[in-house]
Amino acid sequence: MVKLDNNAWLSKKLSNGKVLCEVCSQSCVLGDGEYGKCGVRCVVDGELKLLVYSLAAALNVDPVEKKPMFHFLPNSKAFSIGTVGCNFSCTFCQNHEISQYPKEHNHNVTGRKVSPKQIVELALEYGCKSIAYTYNEPVVFFEYTYDTAKIARENGLKNIYVTSGYETHKAIDVIAPYLDGMNIDIKSFSNDFYKNICGARLDPVLETVLYAYKKGIWIEITTLIIEGKNDSDDELRAIAKFLASIDTSIPWHLSAFHPMYKMLDVGRTKTSTLKRAYDIAKEEGLKYVYMGNVDLEDYESTYCPSCKEKVIQRSGYIGSNVSNSLKDGGLCPSCGYLLKGIWI
């Protein structure tokens, strides 16, 4: 039996003796000795435990642009951490070695012991302006993110979730006071895609986007465009319309797929496909649309929606060459238009 003293939060004991995990929309109901879909939360002696508290499987200093967050402290570094485990099971996962680790290693977990306080100390030592909870799904190590984010905020650092958007409203309510930004994947606009390829559902993701926006958390959206799977004009337009109905200033990152993990039968996304998605997004009125995993400066830079001036130039390897000319918290230097984002 695993020896643990890290009780998980947001759980409810049910009348049948099982425990409901309320941190993500998988809503696992677990009996003693059972593991959640994420593989890192399990019930021990009637209590839900988090197996990866203070156990980081990945630690890196990354440009914040790599998350990707383009309207969030441009040209700064984000101290990036992740653990093993994930509540999704995407067949194209780029980080499957850590995200699917517990499921593929008989529920074992692994990582390097790093406390929340140590993470913040390292972030400060490396000159980071933020901490990004990324690589795997942050909500599955929620308590670890919360404790770290709180200390980070006390030390002047911002916090970012890079997430699949399966947080419950309860989880967002708890973390929101310390969470500055989220990059949320909308992997598709089809529930069948979510069900068959990711082991999840579409609706909770859309609810998270809306809820996080209403809570005042800065959100950017990423869609990995996979030809033949999620790239029809109708589907791309549906995502663009959804975002535009919330706020046309929400940045949308269109990212190119390359064969990965179990999805090896689909080719790399063509630049022409990304451009088609880009054009659809613009037709629907989105102000900030970016293309990722391709080296096209025109589609990576930020332009003032009012006067079309290039206000943040990005070129070369992501985050390596960023030049921000915005003034005073997001004003266009040419016409004074206020671009939305977290600029200071």
Contact residues: ligand SF4, CB under 6 A: 21, 23-24, 26-28, 36-38, 41, 87, 140
- Return the number of the residue (200 or 281) whose C-beta is nearest ligand SF4: 200
- Return the number of the residue (116 or 138) whose C-beta is nearest ligand SF4: 138
Give the nearest distance from C-beta 28 to ligand SF4 in angstroms.
3
Q: From CA 54, how far away is CA 114, in angstroms rounded?
A: 5
Q: From CA 230, how far away is CA 16, in angstroms rounded?
A: 41
Counting beta carbons within 10 angstroms of the beta carbon of residue 18, is it exposed (0 to 12), middle (13 to 18) or buried (19 or more)? middle
Residues contacting 338, CB < 8 A, separation 6+? 330, 331, 332
Give the nearest distance from C-beta 170 to ligand SF4 in angstroms.
11
Counting beta carbons within 10 angstroms of the beta carbon of residue 332, is it exposed (0 to 12), middle (13 to 18) or buried (19 or more)? buried
In the complex, residue closest to ligand SF4 by CB: 36
Q: From CA 95, how far away is CA 163, in angstroms rounded?
A: 13
Give the nearest distance from C-beta 195 to ligand SF4 in angstroms.
15
Counting beta carbons within 10 angstroms of the beta carbon of residue 245, is it exposed (0 to 12), middle (13 to 18) or buried (19 or more)? exposed
Give the nearest distance from C-beta 102 to ligand SF4 in angstroms.
10
Give the nearest distance from C-beta 40 to ligand SF4 in angstroms.
7
- Return the number of the residue (26 or 163) whose C-beta is nearest ligand SF4: 26
Q: Tokens 């996080």 correspond to what residue?
A: 212
Give the nearest distance from C-beta 260 to ligand SF4 in angstroms.
22
- Return the number of the residue (51 or 239) whose C-beta is nearest ligand SF4: 51
- Return the number of the residue (87 or 302) whose C-beta is nearest ligand SF4: 87
- Return the number of the residue (10 or 244) whose C-beta is nearest ligand SF4: 10
Q: From CA 338, how far away is CA 332, in angstroms rounded?
A: 6
